[in-house]
Amino acid sequence: MNALNGAATAAFDALLWPLERLGVAWSLILVSGVFGVLALFLFKHVSAQRRIRATKDRIKGHLIEIRIWQDDLAIVAKATGKVLLRNAQYLGLNLLPFVPLSIPFVFVLAQLVVRYAYQPLRLVEPQTELLAGEGTTLEIVLAEASAARTQDLRVNVPAGLEAVSPLVRVPSEGRAFQEFVARQSGEYELVIEIPGLASVTKRVAAGDATPRTLQPLRGSSFLDAWLWPAEPAFESGSPFASISIAYPDRELGWLPGGAGGIVITFLLASMLFGALAIKPLKVAI
């Protein structure tokens, strides 16, 4: 999965670089729209187009039957039942092909989220007084088998970042938390280790840094690797289940920001472009 994510990330770097000259918002819309058209093209070839058209025709025929024989309750009831059954068949014919299409769908959406949903951590001046919870929280979750090693956890914070709380360990849950702030712009790596067992990193960007991707969570599961492709997932058997921080949502001007905004824009743009391409591509849907 890490190799596949690496290849996808490199491909999107090359694809989006020229489009981003138009601005992030237009790049996001254009990529979403192109994928919507491609998804429609693939749908045409993985779905039963003849059966979809035939089912739609039968539904229309039963509706006409209801209109013509509207005074005969027996015929109307029988025709209504057929309409309902045909509608279920129609939905199945349309929805089942989207199962294989959901795989590239998630790959594309995940790439857009790590590129456009977040912005680097804000800088905090040294003299600024912070209350508890006002820094950025680092959360470490250990695998169930390694929860007992929570007490041994160590976090090495690089220069440019500063820990503003002790590392709080919760051995019963296999979790640990620490607050830190960014003092200087840059791209950093937090080093989290269990001495004698394992050492891993978590990328952090702050201030004016302009990394191509920002990923709040680095995990170990297949789902984590699928949804968060910018950093490699932990290897199988790693004592670490996940390491996460909270990045601020990125402002996208007239588009909604954050991960939710990316998802909404992606869905709307892909559906709009796809709808415009239905007739030119002669797709039954």
Of the pLDDT bands very low, low, confident and very high (cuts 50, 70, 90), residue 33 is very high
Q: How far apart are CA 1 and CA 194, in angstroms?
A: 25
52: nearest Cα among 105, 96, 82: 96
Average pLDDT over residues 196-212: 92
Buried b / exposed e over 258-278, threshold 16 CB at 10 Å, is: bbebbeebbeebbeebbeebe
Pairwise CA distance, residues 35 & 75, whole Å: 45
Point out the least confidently predicted range of 37-41, 75-79, 225-229: 75-79
For the chain, give the percent of residues with pLDDT over 90: 48
Average pLDDT over residues 5-25: 82
Calpha distance 115→230 (Å, rounded):
9
User: Which of 10-24, 34-48, 181-195 ranks highest by mean pLDDT?
Assistant: 181-195
pLDDT of residue 105: 84
> pLDDT at position 102, please?
81
First-to-final CA distance of the chain: 33
pLDDT bracket for residue 16 (50, 70, 90):
confident
d(CA 111, CA 103): 13
Q: 283: pLDDT confidence band, cut at 50, 70 and 90?
A: confident
Tell me how far apart the alpha carbons of residues 124 and 162 are, in angstroms, rounded to a whole number.
Answer: 10
* Amino acid letter for position 72: D
What pLDDT band is residue 219 in, cutting at 50, 70 and 90? very high
The pLDDT of residue 130: 65
Give the pLDDT confidence score for residue 128 in this predicted structure.
67
Task: Give the range with max mean pLDDT: 43-52, 61-70, 87-96, 149-158.
Answer: 149-158
Give the confidence band of 132 by pLDDT, cuts at 50, 70, 90.
Answer: low
How far is Cα 130 from Cα 28, in angstroms, rounded to an integer? 36
Pairing of strands 198-206, 175-182: unpaired
Whether the pLDDT of residue 68 is over 70: the answer is: yes
In which band, very low, low, confident or very high, does the pLDDT at 237 lie, cut at 50, 70 and 90?
confident
How much is the average pLDDT of 29-57? Answer: 89
Looking at the predicted structure, is the pLDDT value of residue 115 above 90? Answer: yes
The mean-pLDDT minimum among 57-61, 191-195, 198-202, 240-244 falls in 57-61
What's the pLDDT band for 166 if we cut at 50, 70, 90? Answer: very high
Which backbone phi and psi does 160 adopt, to 5 degrees?
105, -25
What ranges in 69-125 are assigned the alpha helix state H?
Answer: 73-95, 98-116
User: What string of DSSP letters covers 6-57?
Assistant: HHHHHHHHHHHHHHGGG-HHHHHHHHHHHHHHHHHHHHHHHS-HHHHHHHHH
260-274 pLDDT, tens digit each: 999 999 999 999 999
Is residue 79's pLDDT more than 70? yes
Statement: residue 126 has pLDDT above 80: no
Sorted by sequence, the CB contacts under 8 Å of residue 63 that are 6+ apart come out as 79, 83
Chain mean position to CA 84: 35
Predicted pLDDT of residue 244: 96
103-122 mean pLDDT:
92
Contacts of 173 (CB under 8 A, 6+ apart): 147
Task: Report CA 159 to chain centroid distance, whole Å.
Answer: 31
Helix (H) or strand (E) holding 264: helix 258-281
